[in-house]
Amino acid sequence: MIKKTSQMLAIPAREEDLKQLDDMMNRLEKAVDFNVISTDFQDETLELEVDYIDEIYKIQVYPITFQLPEFYRCQHLFPDVDIEALQEAQNGLAVEMEFGDEALPSYHLQLKIIHAMLPDALAVLDDSSEKILSGHWVALAAESGVLPAPRYIYTAQAVSGEDDCVWLHTHGLNRCGLPELEVLNSNKDTYQYHYNVLETLANRLLELEEPLEPKEPLYLARLTQDQALMITLVEWEEAVALYDINMLGGTVDRADGHNEDTCAIFVYSSEEAFNRGEYEPLMIYDELLQGNAIYMISNSETRRMKELAAERLGYMVAALEKGNCHILVKLGLTVDLQHRTETNQYEHIWFELLRAEGDRIWAKLTQEPYYIAGLHEGDEGWYTLKEITDWIIFTPERRITPDDVYLLG
């Protein structure tokens, strides 16, 4: 599959910032995270060659007029004054590039380029994923040594019709050389559970060394002790042929879009079903998906989350000292020996943070572990900051994760 160009539009805090070309170029040349190899101007377009993590990227930057799309998802919270400024903005800086071999570093580089040129950006429109990013978040992400979360690569949209039908589909995965994902014939009672499947699958596909081929199985979750969620992808033409042509997301809806490089999610109910090539709709597991499904998070994503939580630990400690909030911390604890395998070394469990002293914390377990027999819900004890793999601050106004600390500054 051919990768599509990743398109972003940076909106300046002040329109005059777009005219400071010399300042932009100086910041690009002085950037420490990437190296500008060459620059060239062609008809108001700046063409860059950039060396980043031993890969060469070609990037195009140009001024553009725009109107804020009504259907774009606002990924972050914006103060009312920034919302007003966004609605009035008409000019921005387009930044286009083709992703390299790895999607997340490529996405990170695109943010770094934008931040170097417009360090005080009001917002960034990620046209490829149809979402609006906070300029404050972009600045933090660009300056971070940790990659952004995989969910930023794409947006999952839920489209509903006059009846109960809901059509889930993504935007943004094509720029990674992956098909967009869909769930057909969902409904208003179950689409949230199907959304969890779609999001987990998108994250997994971004990490696979080789693309998942249509009809190939992929283990995604444990639904019960005896039932696994084994998904597969079916190309859209074959998928929609299973439904009424007038169904939401059906053949009629494909005339003007969603008609290339997209696949629907189905499941294999057993190994025998896979061997026979018999896939079924995700809906056969609706009841189980509403239970305690355990989705598989890769070791690399667990490490990324832990690194981000550690990088921004100061925000959590400051919130604890300030008070007037409730804080949960996720700790990665070694599982009992009889459960330990090469891929199951730690169980990640949520605790309530009660106090912090130096490099250790006193915390209370909020759930019953699966693989640690000597630990039970309600137990309290000392743990180290190094064991924290994630955290959440609950303030009277909102919840704040390591990814959301832009709200505190």
Residue 205 near residue 211, CB atoms below 8 Å: yes
Query: What are the sequence ranges of the domains in the chain?
Result: 6-151, 154-295, 299-408
CATH T-level assignment (fold) for domain 299-408: SH3 type barrels. (2.30.30)
Gap between the Cα atoms of 148 and 403, Å rounded: 8
**pLDDT for residue 107:** 98
Interior/surface letters 307-337, b for 16+ CB within 10 angstroms, e for the rest: bbbeebbebbeebbeeeebebbbbbbbebee
Gap between the Cα atoms of 59 and 45, Å rounded: 10
Gap between the Cα atoms of 219 and 376, Å rounded: 29
Span 360-394, pLDDT tens digits: 999 999 998 989 999 999 999 999 999 999 999 99
Task: Return the half-sphere exposure (C-beta side, CA atoms, 13 A cut-off) of residue 67.
Answer: 2
**pLDDT for residue 409:** 66
Whether 200 has a pLDDT exceeding 90, the answer reads: yes
Q: What is the mean pLDDT of residues 159-186?
A: 95
Gap between the Cα atoms of 12 and 135, Å rounded: 9
- Banded model confidence at residue 221, pLDDT cuts 50, 70, 90: very high
The token pair at 381 is 């004890």
Beta strands in 238-308 (DSSP E): 262-268, 280-281, 294-295
- Residue located via tokens 């360090």: 119
**Sign of the alpha-carbon torsion through 19, 21, 22, 24:** positive
Q: Is the pTM of this model over 0.85?
A: yes
Whether 344 has a pLDDT exceeding 90, the answer reads: no
Would you call 396 exposed, middle or buried from its count of C-beta atoms within 10 A (0-12, 13-18, 19+)? Answer: exposed
What is the percent of the chain where pLDDT is above 70? 100
Q: What is the mean pLDDT of residues 237-252?
A: 95
